[in-house]
Amino acid sequence: MSQKYEKLSKEIIEKVGGSNNINNVYHCQTRLRFKLIDEKKVNEEALKNMDGVATVLFSG
């Protein structure tokens, strides 16, 4: 993995509440989807403002 993507992935994990808050991760086309344990731990604004993150959505 390149340094760029390693740094990006670590920052995303931090902003979704850490690795202990991730129940599952999968990708669909160009999207990376997280199933989280507690969505309240997500720093949504920080994620949205990251280079490499297009948007942040929550689904029921």
Residues involved in catalysis: 28
- Please give the biggest Cα pair distance in the chain: 34
Give the Cα separation of 41 and 44 in Å (integer): 9
What does R_g of the chain's alpha carbons equal in angstroms?
11
Q: Which amino acid is at 23?
A: N
